[in-house]
Each structure stands twice: as structure tokens, then as C-alpha cells.
């Protein structure tokens, strides 16, 4: 549309998001399944009023310079925004948006699925059957820990961490948590959750599940030392960000049996290279960053990302900005 805001959408997203964008903007959508290479991205965003980005698109000074001074909004199709240099966009007074809330329950569902599948060895069992190894009912075949009644240690007690607590209570689990901010007494009571420092939470937990944002403080949080605090029977679940776990240290621990199993939705890097030591381990379940991948949730994320993009190009306040401070200094 002539005179409409110019936007670039860095990948095909569900129709719920694409439709309103196409209706209101002069929009170009990157049609390839793979992300735009850096040079193509920088070229595509030149002169844009708004850009809809994914976790795979790094938004930094180079990106902002390439777009130009007219850029009014960066809308990230994700709740996490570690791909965005927030101080850089904020310095330029540009609001950035994310999609919080809508993916909380869907992500917790997947985290719980990983927890159960890693504990009860579902991928190994499936491989065993398909390899033709199933000869009889085996009293000692594919034994793992119980999920019900176990102790879960939730690291990062935000929306998704609390949604995990709700599921864990349904399985009669004891809920421990750690967070940089201790939750209100009412929230602790609602989830019957006990706050502990990591050095106490990790040795007590049968399951450790990570729900922190990736920051300088959480990068490498689960290193060799902290993995060493976990029980040899324990399972680690990561649906947060790959770099929160030291992958080499995790592979060493899984191989040595100092922890029992891991279920990972995120790795460092992504995709995980096929020669990474974790890929060769039977007790490491890995799925390709699909925690929010239900049809309904991806549709809602698309609606939210479109709403942020359209508000931004119209000069309105984003419904869900990650840097609301841009609005404080007008």
C-alpha cells in the first residue's frame, strides 16, 4: 500500500499475525524456512518503519544503523529477547516488543513432557522397539526414577516456573525453588513452594528444571560445579536458553553417571552440531526449541507480535514493550 508503513517480517509466522500486518503495511515477508543471512537481513530492513524479528535475528547497533533513523519499532516473535541489545534500542528511543504470557502454559507443558520422558526413558524405549530389540517383558528393562512424589527444584520462579510448580503439585511432588527475587509469601503459599539457595536446592532435588532468562548472571549457571551438587539419580530439564547450561560439563556428568538424565529444548549453539558430545548420549533427550510450539500458542504469539509492530509504526505505545523506559523520557 502506497504511503503505508514499510515493514520487514523476518520469517513466515502464523496467519493470525501476517493478515493484520499485510492489511496495514507495505510488508515484505522473508519466505525461506531458514533465517535471512545477516547481509540479506541488513539489506531488507533498510528504510523500514518496523521490523518483526525472531530469536535468530540479532538486533544490535549494526542492525539499527542499517535500518536507519526512521525505524520506530522492533517486534520480537518470542517471549525471550536475548537476541536484542536492549540498551542499544533504548538509547535510540525505539520500543521493542515481546510476547509474554501467552506461551507460559504451553512451555510448561513441554518442560513437564521432557521431565517425564527423560525420567521414564521414552526416547530410549522407542529406539529400542524400532531397533527390533523388544524380545520379552523385562523386569530390569529401562528402569528410571518415579516422577510422582519426587522433589522438583525450579530454578527461575517467574510465570513459567510457577506453571511448572502447578503441574508438579498435581503429581504430588515437593516443590523447591530458587530465584534472584524471592516470591511473595502468597505466591509461595499458592504453590506450596519452598525458597532455597542453589547449594541446598540442587542436592535435594530429583528433578531440576530451568526457567531463567539468559543474562550475564545466568550464562553458565549450570556449570560443572553446580551439576556436581545434583544427585546421581537426578534429571535436568532445560527449556530456558542453551547457554544457561555448560554443555560440555553436562555431557561429562551424563556420561559419568553423576546425574541420571537430561531433557533439553535448548542448546548452545542452536542447532546443536551432530558431533556435539550430548548428541551421542542415550540419557540425553534433545528436541529443537519447540516449547511454545502448539498451534494455538504460536497463533497468539503471532497476534501479539503483529499488535506490537502495528502499534509501533503508528507511534502508539506497544501493548507489551520490553523497554517501557522509552516512554518515560518524552
**Catalytic positions:** 241, 270, 289
**Segment interacting with ligand GLV (CB under 6 A) among 24-32, 98-106, 276-284, 322-330:** 98-106
Query: How far is Cα 309 from Cα 318, in angstroms, rounded to an integer?
Result: 8
Q: Between the CA atoms of 76, 81, 86 and 89, what dihedral angle is there, to the nearest 10 degrees?
A: -10
Query: How far is Cα 40 from Cα 48, in angstroms, rounded to an integer?
Result: 14
Query: How far is Cα 236 from Cα 209, in angstroms, rounded to an integer?
Result: 6
Sign of the Cα pseudo-torsion (264, 268, 271, 277, in order): negative
Residue nearest to ligand GLV (CB): 80
User: Shortest distance, CB of residue 211 to ligand GLV, whole angstroms?
Assistant: 7
Query: How far is Cα 195 from Cα 146, in angstroms, rounded to an integer?
Result: 23
Q: Which three cell numbers stand for residue 285?
A: 533427550
Query: How far is Cα 88 from Cα 104, in angstroms, rounded to an integer?
Result: 27
Q: How many residues bind ligand GLV (CB under 6 A)?
A: 12
**Please, are residues 216 and 243 in contact by the beta-carbon 8 Å criterion?**
no
292 binds ligand GLV (CB under 6 A): yes
User: Shortest distance, CB of residue 311 to ligand GLV, whole angstroms?
Assistant: 19
Q: Between the CA atoms of 109, 284, 146 and 210, what dihedral angle is there, to the nearest 10 degrees?
A: -50
User: Shortest distance, CB of residue 186 to ligand GLV, whole angstroms?
Assistant: 18
321 binds ligand GLV (CB under 6 A): no
User: Shortest distance, CB of residue 130 to ligand GLV, whole angstroms?
Assistant: 30
Q: Within positions 128 to 167, which residues make up the interface with ligand GLV, using CB under 6 A?
A: 158-160
Question: Which position among 97, 100, 153, 321 is part of the footprint of ligand GLV (CB under 6 A)?
Answer: 100
User: Shortest distance, CB of residue 100 to ligand GLV, whole angstroms?
Assistant: 5
Q: Within positions 26 to 55, which residues make up the interface with ligand GLV, using CB under 6 A?
A: 55
Q: Within positions 68 to 87, which residues make up the interface with ligand GLV, using CB under 6 A?
A: 78-80
**Please, are residues 103 and 291 in contact by the beta-carbon 8 Å criterion?**
yes
**Segment interacting with ligand GLV (CB under 6 A) among 37-45, 99-107, 274-282, 303-311:** 99-107
Tell me the per-residue interface mask from 233 to 272 with ligand GLV, x by CB under 6 A, - otherwise: ----------------------------------------
Q: Which three cell numbers stand for residue 14?
A: 502464523
Q: Which is nearer to ligand GLV, 174 or 213 (CB)?
A: 213
Number of neighbouring beta carbons within 10 Å of residue 7? 27
Query: How far is Cα 166 from Cα 160, in angstroms, rounded to an integer?
Result: 10
**Please, are residues 281 and 251 in contact by the beta-carbon 8 Å criterion?**
yes
104 binds ligand GLV (CB under 6 A): yes
Query: How far is Cα 116 from Cα 146, in angstroms, rounded to an integer?
Result: 9
Tell me the per-residue interface mask from 176 to 215 with ligand GLV, x by CB under 6 A, - otherwise: -------------------------------------x--
Binding site residues, ligand GLV, CB under 6 A: 55, 78-80, 100, 103-104, 158-160, 213, 292
Amino acid at each position: 500500500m502506497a504511503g503505508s508503513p514499510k515493514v520487514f517480517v523476518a520469517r513466515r509466522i502464523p496467519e493470525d499475525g501476517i493478515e493484520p500486518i499485510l492489511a496495514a503495511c507495505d510488508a515484505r515477508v522473508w519466505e525461506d524456512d531458514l533465517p535471512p543471512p545477516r547481509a540479506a537481513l541488513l539489506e531488507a530492513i533498510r528504510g523500514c518503519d518496523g521490523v518483526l524479528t525472531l530469536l535468530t535475528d540479532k538486533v544490535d547497533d549494526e542492525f539499527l544503523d542499517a535500518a536507519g533513523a526512521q525505524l520506530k519499532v522492533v517486534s520480537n516473535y518470542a517471549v525471550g529477547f536475548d537476541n536484542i541489545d536492549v540498551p542499544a534500542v533504548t538509547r535510540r528511543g525505539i520500543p521493542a516488543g515481546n510476547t509474554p504470557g501467552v506461551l507460559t502454559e504451553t512451555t510448561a507443558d513441554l518442560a513437564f513432557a521432557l521431565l517425564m520422558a527423560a525420567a521414564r526413558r521414552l526416547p530410549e524405549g522407542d529406539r529400542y522397539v524400532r531397533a527390533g530389540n523388544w524380545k520379552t517383558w523385562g523386569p530390569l528393562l529401562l528402569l528410571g526414577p518415579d516422577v510422582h512424589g519426587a522433589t522438583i527444584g525450579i530454578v527461575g520462579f517467574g510465570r513459567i516456573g510457577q506453571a511448572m510448580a502447578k503441574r508438579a503439585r498435581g503429581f504430588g511432588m515437593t516443590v523447591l525453588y530458587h530465584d534472584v527475587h524471592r516470591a511473595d509469601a502468597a505466591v509461595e503459599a499458592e504453590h506450596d513452594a519452598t525458597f532455597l539457595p542453589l547449594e541446598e536446592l540442587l542436592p535435594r532435588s530429583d528433578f531440576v528444571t530451568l526457567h531463567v532468562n539468559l543474562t550475564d548472571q545466568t550464562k553458565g549457571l549450570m556449570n560443572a560445579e553446580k551439576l556436581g551438587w545434583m544427585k546421581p539419580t537426578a534429571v535436568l530439564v532445560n527449556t530456558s536458553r542453551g547457554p544457561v547450561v555448560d554443555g560440555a560439563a553436562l555431557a561429562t556428568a551424563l556420561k559419568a553417571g553423576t546425574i541420571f538424565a537430561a531433557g533439553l529444548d535448548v542448546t548452545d549453539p542452536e542447532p546443536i552440531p551432530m558431533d556435539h558430545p550430548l548428541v551421542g548420549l542415550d540419557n540425553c533427550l534433545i528436541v529443537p526449541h519447540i516449547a511454545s510450539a502448539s498451534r494455538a500458542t504460536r497463533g497468539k504469539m503471532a497476534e501479539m507480535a503483529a499488535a506490537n509492530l502495528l502499534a509501533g509504526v503508528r507511534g502508539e505505545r506497544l501493548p507489551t514493550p520490553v523497554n517501557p523506559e522509552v516512554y518515560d523520557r518524552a
